[in-house]
Structure 1
Amino acid sequence: MKYTAVRAKELIFEIPFGVNENLRIFWINLSQDSRAEFSASIKEVKEDHAIVPLIIREAGFFSANAVLSDVNRILDINRKEFDFLQNSKIKKVTLLLLAKDDFRLPQISSPIILPDWLFILGPRETSFRIADLAHSAESDLLNCPESRVADISSLLYELEREIIFRLQKVEDSFSSKFVAQLVGISIEKIDSSFYIGEFLKNINDVDDSRAYRPSAAEKINSVSSKIIRLCIRSSPKELALHARILAEGMMDESMTKIKPTIFSVMLRPTEKLNSATRNWHAILTSVYQAYQVMNGAAHAGEYEPYPVNLIYSSSVDLRRFLSEARIYIEDLV
């Protein structure tokens, strides 16, 4: 994941030190950025805690058995980088290793004898831990910049609009099948033109797509709201049946397969689905996923913190699918 120096600094200062811990090392991948500029921006002393960025210019950190020697070597090479701490009252140091690739090792702890010149940390004999910053930094669930909730809202809005446009294009006998399944009314009693009009009115009333947040309330006549309620009340097997009928109602006979989100894969039914049904199953579950992401962001204080890279990766996966799903529906013949 990509960091700004400001965001990385925020995350580092939020990560608590362990009991009796005064030295820790975090790794960050800056393959596309200027490491010198990043280093200058993130170097900081805050109360008794200092962030010391060190640029990795040599091969290393490939083996757990060699980590201690790798750390000693990079300290020796970068001794001058600690000069700005000489007159400070530092008790804790975070070394931030600026690399051009990912950290290949698990989190490691090791004893170390610090060099004489690193007197700022007191006793020479101490220990350190080294880990990828993205795995160590935690934030409130889905309530951080990495979640990109506003972008998810906008992409969901665009997907919903495309579904409505498609409903307006297909024959009434098919759109009625789609709407009846979505709303939960028999096809003999459904007035599909009324609901399509309500769906369109609801989406047109949205002033800012980046603030769009569907509700699971039954009285809300929006495509996303109806999908959410469909997901809430359906078993995996029932959801697969809904997906097949919705695909038929969209006159979707496409052989194209959209890569589902990992969340959708976890909810996949046991029976084999054709391409169109598989895609609509992924659309249903991803709309529900987006809804839960928005709920999590709105009530972040109710959840435990999670690693920012997990939040970020989940967001990337969901945003990728919502974008591809909109294009898929737009391209239906």
Structure 2
Amino acid sequence: MEMDAKSILEYLQRIEWKENNSLRLFWVKISHGSRDILAQELKSSENHDVIVPLVLRETLFLSANAVMADFSRLLESNRKNFESLQIEGGRKITVIILLKENFKLSQISSPVVLPRWFPVLGGTETYLHISDLMWNAELDLLNCNDAQIGSLASALYELESTIVERIRQVSLVDHRKARPLIDTLFDGAGATSDVLDRFEATLRGVPDPKGYRPNSQNKNSLISLLFSMVMRSSPDALSKVATNLCKATDDCSTDILRPTLFAIMLRPSSKTDTTIKNWHSILLAAYQVYQLMNAAAHAGDYPKYPATLIHANSRDLIQFLHMANQYVGILFAETEIGS
């Protein structure tokens, strides 16, 4: 995730100061663009608390045993930045360390003695804690752009449409291939063509894919019925649904989809074919999107989470859904559907 001055300031505002603290330190990875320009933009920002951005060019903080010495060296190298500050009574200092790469130490905690010239707490011992700004900036799912709910909904809609279209293609040649899946999803479904008509009508009725939000109770939506199966099935039992999806789409692919991290946690215990593994991963990724959309719609009922975690999770899901859609789309390239 690329950061600019505005984003950094917004994240800082979300992090409350600890009681009796007047100095805090965060690090931010800036892999692209000028760190010097970013530092100047942060310096010139209007903020109640004083912000001191430091561009780290030295090799520091590689060992937990050298934290105090490295911190002292960092302050001395940037002494002018601190001595030029106009610190009024009660104001606090936030130090932002700008790096090209991630910090070598994930979190730094150590007692340090601040130099006498330091504008706050000079000459006293304080507890130093340097942490990842993105990890500490908690965001509400409902209001968080990093959750990318609209993009997730659109990608899920596209995937469902492609799957339904593929099942229709296969059924025109042999309607029996889809029956195990349909009969597993619900009783008294009716003719295969009628079921697919209802699935397609549901998708056509969606005015904007970015606002698509399936309901697990909707029996006229393929993905909604699949969500209901996921909620009622163990990872091993879900393999049966994945097997039926393989049959319904006539999937004989040898490609391997990289599952989302969530799907790895709920992988089946028994060994299965590649295609079944792929559809198992598709089911769990789609269900993960469904639950995330529900959480976003009721964000007040859930805790806050770090920005990096929200962003990484959504990015992983969107990437997987796009790969899954391509995976199903490739099945259309087959010139002959097996009997």
Whether these two folds match at TM > 0.5 is yes
Q: 1:135 to 1:179 in 2, by over 3 A?
A: same
Aligned to 2:210: 210
The answer on whether the counterparts of 1:21 and 1:127 sit within 8 Å (CA) in structure 2 is no
Alpha-carbon separation, structure 2, partners of 1:78 and 1:287: 50
Alpha-carbon separation, structure 2, partners of 1:4 and 1:206: 36
Q: Per-residue deviation at 1:194?
A: 1.5
- CA RMSD in angstroms comes to 2.0
Letter in 2 for 1:245: N
Gaps of 5+ in 2: 335-339
Alpha-carbon separation, structure 1, partners of 2:260 and 2:11: 27
Q: 1:179 to 1:37 in 2, by over 3 A?
A: farther
SS of aligned partner of 1:28: strand
Aligned to 1:286: 285
Instruction: State the identity as a percent.
Output: 39
Aligned to 1:184: 186
Q: 1:202 to 1:239 in 2, by over 3 A?
A: same
TM-score normalised per structure 1: 0.91
SS of aligned partner of 1:53: strand
Kindly report which structure 2 residues correspond to 1:243-262, keeping only aligned pairs within 5 A, or say none.
Answer: 243-262=242-261
Aligned to 1:66: 66
Letter in 2 for 1:293: L
The answer on whether the counterparts of 1:283 and 1:325 sit within 8 Å (CA) in structure 2 is yes
Letter in 2 for 1:236: P
Aligned to 1:311: 310
Alpha-carbon separation, structure 2, partners of 1:90 and 1:32: 36
Q: 1:284 to 1:232 in 2, by over 3 A?
A: same
SS of aligned partner of 1:129: strand
Aligned to 1:169: 169
The answer on whether the counterparts of 1:23 and 1:127 sit within 8 Å (CA) in structure 2 is no
Alpha-carbon separation, structure 2, partners of 1:143 and 1:174: 43
The answer on whether the counterparts of 1:180 and 1:190 sit within 8 Å (CA) in structure 2 is no
Residues 47-82 of structure 1, C-alpha deviation per residue, up to 9 Å, x if partnerless?
Answer: 3x2221111112112111122222222222223333
Q: Per-residue deviation at 1:284?
A: 0.8
Alpha-carbon separation, structure 1, partners of 2:55 and 2:47: 21
SS of aligned partner of 1:127: strand
Q: Per-residue deviation at 1:123?
A: 6.3
Q: After the TM superposition, which of the residue ranges 77-86 and 22-31 deviates more from structure 2?
A: 77-86
Aligned to 2:47: 46
The answer on whether the counterparts of 1:231 and 1:284 sit within 8 Å (CA) in structure 2 is yes
Q: 1:88 to 1:211 in 2, by over 3 A?
A: farther
The answer on whether the counterparts of 1:236 and 1:268 sit within 8 Å (CA) in structure 2 is yes
Aligned to 1:36: 36
Gaps of 5+ in 1: none
Alpha-carbon separation, structure 2, partners of 1:132 and 1:245: 45
Alpha-carbon separation, structure 1, partners of 2:119 and 2:4: 31
Q: Per-residue deviation at 1:99?
A: 0.4
Q: Per-residue deviation at 1:88?
A: 4.0
Letter in 2 for 1:325: A
Aligned length: 328
